[in-house]
A and B are shown apart, each in its own frame.
Chain A
Amino acid sequence: MASVDRELRDKIPTFEKAGTQAAEVGNWSSAASTLSILKGGRDATLIAITAIIVFGGAELLLRLLEVPTYIAPTPSQVVWALIADFPHIGPHIGYTLIELVTGFAIGASIGFVLAAVITQFPLVEKIVAPYILLLVTTPMLALVPLLILKFGFGFTPRIIAVALASGPMVMINAATGFRRTDLAKIALARSFGASTLQIFLKIRIPMAMPMVIVGLMIGSIFGLLTAVGAEMVGGSFGLGNRLTYYSSLIQMPQFFACILVLAIIGISIYVFFFWVGKKWASWES
């Protein structure tokens, strides 16, 4: 049987690089410019000095104006609360991370596989696209009360909410990546006898990688937002739950300590995927 590839049959040979630029949600050069600032000693000292001025200034201002702690705690009070109350806050960090990692792993895997499969069938993609868009644009947080009714106050509703929030984000970006078809590169692999599976593994996936990583980054941040939101809606554990708990007790230093932890988690996700992108997608920038 003639194993002429579906992509190549009845196509005029062309070498136009269709959609090789990532004009979509994120691109590496912008992310690179944000992080590469951290390079170089002189820049680092400047950044450190600015940080000291900002946080030191806030500390000084709050103390001089004698702003009550229940309105705005000073940075030192927040850091101190985080250290002193870490035995209370620590486990909740773990709960939130469990929800985030589990939900994201489920959502991202499904999103990635769906994107890879659906983009191979343009008609299926057209049919499915509106529903994916619906999932992307509707805040999945809105489903949490319903999920709690069905699954109770444990991890399950939160993990489902995280998966529902992150999966479509991964999918929509990964699909953009998989939709790039560089006919010449597929022909190259085919000319050496590559099977459809080999073309997928050696050409299509590497080519989609930059957009997949952008999707993973955005998806995981959305997952974090949804996890915290879901914790605020119901249940008795997790950082979101602590936020409502400490604010109800007007324990503002602890409240801000939780926000500080969430900011650190968010930035860690960003730095992690930036590093992944540099390693696996740097060929594009």
Chain B
Amino acid sequence: MSQNGQPKLAVANASKFYDTGTGKVHALDDFSMEVQEGELACLLGPSGCGKSTLLWAMAGLHGLSAGEIRLDGRPVTRPNPQIAMVFQEANLLPWRNLIKNIELPFEIRGQRPDQARIDALLAEVGLAGFESKMPRELSGGMQQRASIVRALSVDPSLLLMDEPFGALDAFTRDEMNLLIQQIWMETKKTVVFITHNIAEAVFLADRVFVMSARPGRLARIFEIDLPRPRGLEVLMAPHFIELVGEIKGSIDHKPQVQAA
């Protein structure tokens, strides 16, 4: 909780329909959640459950059919300088080198790049010295590190991450999760992290918000009380495995009943 007791991010009764050629798609149904200042919240759900729809709405990239999203008490209806987003598969611009990619937000805002901050972030994620490399010359993990630096370079107070490590191999994914935890513990930014990987959600999150299949509804909230910093050995801890099992059960339950 922040000092005045107001959540950092509040989603209230959010619903979203898409008009497609074949009719209306109900992507999000009466979804509500609150994220506290400095919290690392994971949104977990099957593919196509409206996770990205919700995150894009949080970023002010598109509107809702009903309900509203508030950041620090103020409605989010358009992109906000306090919010930065990390996209799937890094989403670097292939015609710009690494440093030009990182400077893009400053360029758009007509500001001088915060060189000291960028250098410190690059060093932290291990990309110092790669500034002039083109994206295609970097591995998937390095590209995603660069995109994290790009998002953090503008010092947002809310970081939205849309399945950022979905395309990475398991080893790189573990590494990236450790990095996210480290950055988050240092900066204490509020993070909303989307994933469909249960172990990833449990490893990272303070709380896991489980979504149902489309239309996306909030199914359950799990508090993750594993102590921090969490190392990779936690993946083997009985309590971790117990939590993963419990969450898995809460997701798998419905389809099994339907199948029977």
A interacts with B = yes
Question: Would A4 and B95 be within 8 Å (CB), given that A192-B108, A193-B81 are in contact?
Answer: no
Q: Which B residues are in CB contact (< 8 Å) with A184?
A: 87-88, 91
B19 at interface, CB cutoff 8 A? yes
Q: How far is the CA of A281 from the CA of B104 in the complex (A)?
A: 19
Query: Which residues, 1 to 57 on B, are CB-close (under 8 Å) to A?
Result: 18-20, 25, 27, 52-53, 55-56
B88 nearest CB neighbor, chain A only: A15
Q: How far is the CA of A209 from the CA of B95 in the complex (A)?
A: 10
Q: Which of B56, B77, B78, B154 contacts A13 (CB 8 A)?
A: B56
A188 nearest CB neighbor, chain B only: B91
B216 at interface, CB cutoff 8 A? no
Task: Name the segment of B60-68, B196-204, B235-243 touching the other chain.
Answer: B60-68
A203 nearest CB neighbor, chain B only: B93
Question: B107 CB to closest chain A CB, in angstroms?
Answer: 7
Query: Which residues, 9 to 34 on A, are CB-close (under 8 Å) to B?
Result: 9-13, 15
A185 at interface, CB cutoff 8 A? yes
Say whether A206 contacts B63, CB under 8 Å. no
Q: How far is the CA of A280 from the CA of B88 in the complex (A)?
A: 26
Say whether A193 contacts B61, CB under 8 Å. no
Query: Which residues, 62 to 121 on B, are CB-close (under 8 Å) to A?
Result: 62-63, 77-79, 81, 83-85, 87-89, 91, 93-95, 104-105, 107-109
Q: How far is the CA of A283 from the CA of B136 in the complex (A)?
A: 8
Say whether A188 contacts B63, CB under 8 Å. no
B152 at interface, CB cutoff 8 A? no
A123 at interface, CB cutoff 8 A? no
Say whether B78 contacts A2, CB under 8 Å. yes
Q: How far is the CA of A203 from the CA of B104 in the complex (A)?
A: 11
Say whether A13 contacts B52, CB under 8 Å. yes
Say whether B94 contacts A11, CB under 8 Å. no
Task: Tell me which of A9, A10, A192 has the highest count of chain B C-beta atoms within 10 A of its own C-beta.
Answer: A192
A88 at interface, CB cutoff 8 A? no
Instruction: State the interface size on chain B (CB cutoff 8 A).
Output: 38
B134 at interface, CB cutoff 8 A? yes
Q: Which of B52, B62, B105 contacts A192 (CB 8 A)?
A: B105
Q: Which B residues are in CB contact (< 8 Å) with A202?
A: 93, 104, 107-108
Say whether B63 contacts A192, CB under 8 Å. no
Say whether A194 contacts B108, CB under 8 Å. yes
B210 at interface, CB cutoff 8 A? no
A195 nearest CB neighbor, chain B only: B108
Query: Which residues, 30 to 87 on A, are CB-close (under 8 Å) to B?
Result: none
B59 at interface, CB cutoff 8 A? yes
Q: Which A residues are in CB contact (< 8 Å) with B52?
A: 13
Q: Which of A15, A191, A284 contacts B79 (CB 8 A)?
A: A191
Q: How far is the CA of A187 from the CA of B151 in the complex (A)?
A: 13
Say whether A284 contacts B18, CB under 8 Å. no
Point out residues on B near A: beta carbons under 8 Å. Answer: 18-20, 25, 27, 52-53, 55-56, 59-63, 77-79, 81, 83-85, 87-89, 91, 93-95, 104-105, 107-109, 134-136, 154, 162
Point out residues on A near B: beta carbons under 8 Å. Answer: 2-5, 8-13, 15, 184-185, 187-194, 198, 202-203, 206-207, 209, 280-281, 283-284
